[in-house]
Every structure is written in C-alpha cells, then in structure tokens.
C-alpha cells in the first residue's frame, strides 16, 4: 500500500486521476439518493408554514445559538421515541432554512416541545432556567422580554424564504407585520387575519403575558410552541397525538 502511495506521489497525472476517482465515488454516494427523494420524503398535505412571529422566533433561536445545545431530530431508537415522542420525519423540515437537526444534546431534544409546556413555563424558563429546572446549565434570556421585536423587515424575511422554496403568498408577505402582532394579541383585530392566512391550528396567544407589546420573548416562545406541530403526519401511527 505504501509503495502504491509513493508511486502515485511521484506521478502527478496518476495522482490527479486517483483523486478524481475517489471524489466521484463520494459524490455519487451523496447525489444518488436525491434521485429517489420523492420516495423518501413523506407527504404532508396538512403541513402549514411558519407564521411571521414564529419565523422571527426561529431567527432569534439561531442568533442566540440554541441549536448548539438542543437538537431537533428524534431518532428511531426506542429510548428516544419513549422520551421525546414520535421520531422525526424528513417532511417536517421541508420549510426549514437552514435545518436545525443537530447532534449535540447538552439540553433535551426540542423536536416535539410544542404544546408540552405552557407559555408561562417557557417565559419562566427563559427568564431564569434554574428556577424551573434546578440542574439546568442553560444561560438566562430574560433580556428578550425587554427587547421589542423589530417587525419592519419581516416582509423581507418571508420574501427571502419564498426565494428558496417556501410558498409564502404576496398576501402573507404584505401582512407580515400585522400578523406578527395579531398572533401575540388574541383580542386584537389582527388576530383573525393571522389565523385566516396560516390556518385554524395557528396558536394565538399572549405569549409573554403582555398582549399590547410585541417582544423577542413573544417570538421565541411562539416558535418553541410550534415545534412538532406543523403537521400531524408523525403522529399518524402513534397512539398519542400532538400535545
């Protein structure tokens, strides 16, 4: 083997051809499955889009590096399914740009955390993690409640998502700011508009407990509450439905 390696190193053309051959094999292993992707990605006719508020929360989740400690991919192993819920399906990430599957779990997997805890629980946990989970090593994010959510660029965020394949309509883009406010203000006139555009299952709630003020805490809690609830497909063969 070493003799072959020495021989290749002394012959640049042969070495280049060997590199091309090795790269081609690796490339085919990665590319070939894409030709059958329609057979591996499940159908989810009830799949809904992230609302502008949930999308803003997802951006905050990424900004704060939450994905570094929390995965969003439940494997098919029995202990994972028993602990977290139905294993993750490829279709659940079809609108995730970027995807947040992850592999490191300093904290628990969050793929099915939506609806598992109340809004108040999430706010308390983000404000002071150890007040809720004494053994937690998570940093506090209390500043999110004091920081107003900038909504001016929400239409641009939806437009960027549409550019990579997420089917946001012009109506959704035009009403992004109003829908973000309405989702966090149940008694407002904008609340019904958000539900009409994103579906009856859209959670309308005063996420941080202050409906008159839209904060980054609202956005992050709204995002956490929708994880695992964009489609019911994963629960089709499960005894338990979504929370």
Q: Given a cut of 80, is residue 239 above it in pLDDT?
A: no
pLDDT (tens digit per residue) in 53-65: 999 999 999 999 9
pLDDT for position 242: 62
> pLDDT category, 37, cuts 50, 70, 90?
low
pLDDT (tens digit per residue) in 125-148: 999 999 999 999 999 999 999 999
Task: For CA atoms 193, 157, 121, 77, give the dihedral sign.
Answer: positive
Point out which residues pair with 215 in neighbouring strands.
Answer: 148
Match 């995807």 to its residue by tokens: 99
Tell me how far apart the alpha carbons of residues 130 and 165 are, in angstroms, rounded to a whole number: 40
> pLDDT category, 29, cuts 50, 70, 90?
confident
Mean pLDDT for 61-84 is 95
pLDDT over 90 percentage in the chain: 74
> pLDDT category, 33, cuts 50, 70, 90?
confident
pLDDT for position 98: 92
CB 193 within 8 A of CB 179: yes
Mean pLDDT of the chain: 91
Question: DSSP characters for 188-225?
Answer: STHHHHHHHHH-TT-----TTS-TTS-BHHHHHHHHHH
């Amino acid at each position: 083997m070493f003799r072959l390696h020495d021989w290749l190193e002394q012959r640049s053309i042969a070495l280049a051809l060997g590199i091309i051959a090795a790269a081609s094999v690796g490339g085919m292993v990665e590319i070939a499955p894409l030709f059958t992707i329609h057979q591996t990605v499940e159908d989810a006719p009830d799949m809904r889009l992230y609302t502008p508020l949930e999308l803003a929360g997802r951006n905050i989740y990424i900004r704060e590096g939450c994905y570094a400690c929390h995965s969003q991919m439940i494997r098919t192993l029995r202990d994972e399914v028993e602990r977290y819920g139905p294993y993750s399906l490829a279709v659940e990430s079809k609108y995730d740009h970027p995807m947040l599957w992850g592999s490191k779990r300093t904290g628990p997997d969050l793929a099915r955390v939506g609806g598992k805890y109340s809004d108040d629980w999430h706010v308390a946990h983000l404000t002071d993690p150890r007040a809720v989970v004494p053994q937690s090593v998570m940093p506090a994010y209390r500043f999110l409640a004091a920081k107003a959510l900038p909504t001016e660029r929400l239409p641009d965020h939806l437009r960027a998502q549409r550019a990579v394949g997420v089917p946001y309509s012009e109506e959704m883009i035009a009403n992004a700011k109003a829908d973000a406010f309405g989702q966090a203000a149940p008694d407002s006139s904008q609340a019904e508009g958000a539900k009409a555009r994103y579906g009856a299952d859209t959670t309308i709630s005063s996420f941080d407990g202050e409906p008159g003020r839209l904060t980054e805490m609202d956005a992050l809690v709204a995002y956490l509450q929708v994880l695992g609830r964009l489609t019911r497909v994963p629960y089709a063969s499960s005894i338990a439905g979504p929370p």
